[in-house]
Amino acid sequence: MNATETVSFRDYDLLCGAKAAEPGMFASTLVVSRRTWPSRPRVIAMARGSFATEADAINSARAQGVQWVTDFG
């Protein structure tokens, strides 16, 4: 099962997700897109990690997305 959550931070929308990685474990996914032109979505490479719950994976994606926007946005 894949779960997602959209978070707004500054001028960006962060699509934070969790996908099944191993039996009973989840991996984070992150797509960052700017709300104004050019709004091309960018798939951000995530730090490897396995999480016991979808919520933990989404929280990790959110934290890494906020860091990405702070550094590069």
Interacting residues of 37 by C-beta distance below 8 A, sequence separation 6+ = none
Q: Are 51 and 3 in contact (CB under 8 A)?
A: no
Cβ contacts of 34-42, under 8 Å, gap ≥ 24: 34/73, 35/8, 35/11, 36/11, 41/15
- Note down pLDDT in tens along the chain; length 73 residues: 578 999 999 999 999 999 998 888 999 999 999 999 888 899 999 877 789 999 999 999 999 999 999 999 8
Give how many domains the chain has, as a whole number.
1
- The domain of 26 spans 3-72
d(Cα 14, Cα 64) in Å, to the nearest integer?
10
Q: What are the tokens at 22?
A: 């191993």
